[in-house]
Amino acid sequence: MIIIPWLSVLFVDKKSFFRYLPVASFVNLFISVFSVISNKRRWWINKNPFSPGNVDFSYILGPYFVATLWIFKLTYGNFPKYLITNVLLNTLNAFPMAYVWEKVGTFKFKKINHIGWYFICIILSIIIYGYQYLVEKTIVNQNKVKSEL
């Protein structure tokens, strides 16, 4: 779950990797904190033996982190394309994949359902697009100040 997605990162150029590393890290931190809260409120139960505790780090640091890097690399700068990509991938994540993980016994939705998780992911994707925009705006402004000196 962790190794296979990271093998694809070998095909991401170094500039793109470091450009989108802040947003991938931010979303993973957010999902980690959200997982702790979700487990306490019993929105779902994590049963992943590879990641003991409330947070499924094998999912967060594997496919979720790498998918964020790839989605931003391939779509950032074109919000409609970004949003459509996220709608499609979050549909796969919240429905067929979540059903598979429930069947396998990795986790189980309790007080939240697949549709609720889907909308959380869509809202989060919009938030992180704004976050990346702010990161890039800050970098551009810093470079502008440096060039004026």
- Kindly state whether residue 149 falls inside one of the protein's structural domains: no
Rounded Cα distance between 20 and 123, Å, is: 19
Closest by Cα among 32, 33, 30, 9 to 20: 9
- Kindly state whether residue 146 falls inside one of the protein's structural domains: no
- Kindly state whether residue 148 falls inside one of the protein's structural domains: no
3-state DSSP assignment of residue 55: coil
What is the tens place of the pLDDT at every residue in 41-75? 989 887 765 666 767 787 788 889 999 999 999 99
Q: What DSSP string describes 59-121?
A: HIIIIIHHHHHHHHHHHTT-HHHHHHHHHHHHHHIIIIIHHHHHHHTSEEESSS-HHHHHHHH
Quote the domain boundaries for residue 92: 3-140
Number of domains in the chain: 1
What is the tens place of the pLDDT at every residue in 77-128? 999 999 999 999 999 999 999 899 888 887 889 999 999 999 999 999 999 9
